[in-house]
Structure 1
Amino acid sequence: MTAARVTHGDGAPAAARHTVAVLVRDGVLPMELGLVHQLLGAARAASGDLLYDVRTCAPRPGRIRTDADFPIYAEHGLDTVAAADTVIVPASHESDEGLEPGGLDRELASALAVRAGRRVASICTGSFVLAAAGLLDGRRATTHWMSADRFARTFPEVTVDADVLYVDEGEVLTSAGEAAGIDLCLHLIRTDHGAAVAADVARRTVVPPHRDGGQAQYIQRPVPEPSLTSTGAARTWALTRLAEPLTLAHLAAVESMSVRTFSRRFREETGLTPMQWLTQRRVDRARELLESTDHTVDRIATEAGFGTGASLRQHFALGLGVSPGAYRATFRGVRV
């Protein structure tokens, strides 16, 4: 993707950065606008240089109402949206669910158009904007679970998956409710610059470094009842022992629970089974090692807990769609 040349506040030329246009409309949710700036704005190269140039845009520059008791000011217009490498559309509950196929302003729809080397994404009901522009026809997409039925009825050409945090269709991405926007932004950073940069941003902002897009967005009991014991200690324990052959019985024993009780409570708290969660953490560890070391695939497989290079390759193919060698080549220019 191309990146616009920008200038630091002191007038000194900055390195070319990937430009991100955040398209806001009256009724925008401030949290969704803020999280894009907070996360993408915190992404830095090893040299310390910023990796993204994030700009707030509106169909008409100027004062924009929010769904809170304060407005914002958008300096940039649709020309910036049209030129950006990535466009992100946060929700506006004021207008989103009233949109229909083909019902988007022609100038706005043109600015959102997908082209080679460019991607467009939405947070929460911002997906209605993408769908109204025709960008989701024939694609799989998600939105906030409370709006999923309306979305499916309004846009029958879109395959709606209300049970995930985000959907990556390559040049078009959609995410669920507000907090899922965090997962989407970290996914974008991870895709562009690797797991290490995304993990650094997550540490800076004190959020989980990776929740898989396929994780459930809505859990009937997302927070355990006070009388229930959390499974957090088992997760912490497992993260320091990923190289070991951990079993469900091992994890349950840390919490002094039966396997059945532990499995049920683990899923209530994370939306995943213990083994699904463990596999994801091992893939994360393998990604970090591929980016930061020259270890062989077999050694990385051992240190990440996959045992063999063949097992690691299989999990990478299933989870990421690439081989460990291709992943390393993408982020380090070295093939193994």
Structure 2
Amino acid sequence: MTSLEVAVTEAKLMLTCGPGGVGKTTTAAALGVAAAQAGRRTVVVTVDPARRLADALGLGDDAEADEPHQVPGITTGANDGELWALMLDAEQTFDRLVRDQSSNKKQADAVLNNPVYQAISGSLSGAQEYMAIERLHQLHSSGEWDLVIVDTPPSRHAIDLLEAPDRLVGFLGHPVYRALTAGQRAFAKITDTAASMFLWAVKRLAGPQIVEDTIGFFRSLANIEGGLRKRAKEVSALLRDENTAFIVVSSPRSEAVGEAKHLLDALHEKRFPFAGLVVNLIHPMPEPLADEDALLLADLDDGPLADHVAWHAELTHLAVAERAELVELEVLAGDAPIIELPLLEVDIHDVPGLIDLSARLV
């Protein structure tokens, strides 16, 4: 299979994954274009698009870029769908999660107004990865969309995205978290002398207020622990649902291929539904010279023709080397579609460019 048409027309959730700098955001937007043109109401969640691509998607500098904006100029027919886009705001998504899982406003405010929460909600390790999936869940659960596409955050270890729900459940069961969320008397009972000395030292170094704020944060978080656990399990199941499609995006660069291989291995190992491989920025393979032409051109004097022949040989060598780098990726992809997209003279940064790319993908 050499097309992503099945994924675009049948999936309900789609995630583009891979290393940074390989065109994940552009690929996600182009897949959204293809879905809209197939008659589906589609929303694309982007992370950090290039400025001109953000402008093309209607995101610009709008303070409300975290809410869906319709992208104009994508469809023309009466039966066509719609393309909407939004930019992920991890902090706002975290706030929504807290409100959703709190039983009342007072409970939610106890978390949201805590100084520790306000300091770390947008910068927790792995927060952006988990919030990308949480935003996907929020949009999917709304029932407003035929397809939700998430352009996942670029990461040196892209697998963090897939493990984020399980890490949250693990965190909620960690002994330190359990100790901090226990009542004051219970806390005193389970805290040994070394821990007490540790807290005393922290109070001396950072001040007693930061210790109280931290313990207060974890205790307020305990009020919504059941909801967080339930949501994390729902998200984990959603990522493995048959209507979810993971698209791995890479380039032929050695380091990008290495990260994409790691990600493909993890998708297979953890049984996430892999739907296709997109390899961007590939140099075209020149037409080979006929034997007689090669002989005629073998001993050229210096000049434009000799330079052109040398360029042809260099490009051929580069294209062959790139395809050799991709062999292991192609094996891991198995029967899934593999799309090779050429290196273009200019970056795609407008709606016509996205429409052209969508045609190449599907």
Question: With structure 1 as the length reference, what TM-score do the two structures score?
Answer: 0.31
Higher helix share: 2
Larger Rg: 2
Larger RCO (CA under 8 A, 6+ residues apart): 2
Question: With structure 2 as the length reference, what TM-score do the two structures score?
Answer: 0.29
